[in-house]
Amino acid sequence: MGKLEGKIACITGAASGIGAATARLFAAEGARVIIADINEGSGRHVAGEIGAAATFLRTDVRNPREVDAMVKYAVEHFGRLDILHNNAFYATWGAVGETSIEGWLTTLAVTLSGTFYGMRFAIPRMIAQGGGVIVNTASISGLYGDYRLAAYNAAKGGVVNLTRAAAIEYARKNIRINAVCPGGIETPPVLGALAAAPDPERARRIAEEHHPIGRLGKPEEIARVVLFLASDDSSFMTGSIVVADGGATAWTGMPGPRPE
């Protein structure tokens, strides 16, 4: 306990899933947390659950002015911004030749541009205060391709290399920038997609079997990786792309006997 004692942290997409789990964990570790999300109802609910250590701030990461205001809010109300977790995302379904233009643009706007805006406005503040930490939520979908998720693959792939580029540019300014690449996690979008499948039980089974560990991950498990990257436990890490996927990318996908 206390790994983030006295730190000021801002988490985008924190109204549910990985962002909400990370907000709860950061607060438990001593941080003051700004929950930034477009979903006011869920965001305020998460902030209320956490209590005095959390503040909700409605933020649409597609809008650079709102992201700039989010960073300014942290500095004006708490004096600094020690940790930024760029976690908000959007995904649209469709093969490359079928993806709607609107879906493509929204996916890139939220997932990639939203991450860029966060870093663009946080980094000058962190330089002025002497340092800081940024953790971006990428995905194994940013490392490899998926069927019918081309826009999401492109956006998360951009997050991966944006993380690397920013990390090397600001390493000597005492700003560490890393990314976590989750596999399938039990977040509302994932669970919603499985429930909407023609055969939800079969879809769930296939998703679980894609992970050699035999199940989907939990948001709290990824939150612990984010905590590691945000804390001094990872003080010699920057530009790292940390995979937490239950073994999914360790497997070629070829069929074969599976250990019980």
> In the annotation, is 90 catalytic?
no
Q: What is the pLDDT of residues 1-50, one digit of tens each?
A: 799 999 999 999 999 999 999 999 999 999 999 999 999 999 999 999 99
Q: Which fold has domain 8-184+218-246?
A: Rossmann fold (3.40.50)
In the structure encoding, which two tokens stand for residue 6, read together?
């006295």
Per the listing, tokens 């560490």 go with 176
Task: From 251, 16, 235, 38, select the one nearest 137 (Cα to Cα).
Answer: 16
3-state per-residue secondary structure call for 36-47: EECCHHHHHHHH
In the structure encoding, which two tokens stand for residue 228, read together?
């590691």
The pLDDT of residue 133 is above 80? yes
Using left for φ > 0, alpha for ψ between -120 and 50, and beta otherwise, residue 30 falls in left
Q: What is the pLDDT of residues 68-123, one digit of tens each?
A: 999 999 999 999 999 999 999 999 999 999 999 999 999 999 999 999 999 999 99
Integer Cα distance of 75 and 85 in angstroms: 16
Q: Are 2 and 31 in contact (CB under 8 A)?
A: no
For the CA atoms of 157, 163, 164, 169, what is the dihedral angle to 10 degrees? 150
Q: What is the pLDDT of residues 50-76, one digit of tens each?
A: 999 999 999 999 999 999 999 999 999
This prediction's pTM: 0.97
In the structure encoding, which two tokens stand for residue 175, read together?
């700003």
Q: Look at residue 255 in the predicted model and tell me its pLDDT.
A: 84
Q: Look at residue 254 in the predicted model and tell me its pLDDT.
A: 87
Segments making up each domain of the chain, as ranges: 8-184+218-246
Residue of 90, 117, 152, 170 marked active site: 152
Q: What is the pLDDT of residues 187-221, one digit of tens each?
A: 999 999 999 999 999 999 999 999 999 999 999 99
The pLDDT of residue 260 is above 80? no
Q: What is the pLDDT of residues 147-181, one digit of tens each?
A: 999 999 999 999 999 999 999 999 999 999 999 99
Please name every residue paired with 182 in a beta bridge, in sequence order, or none if there are none. 244
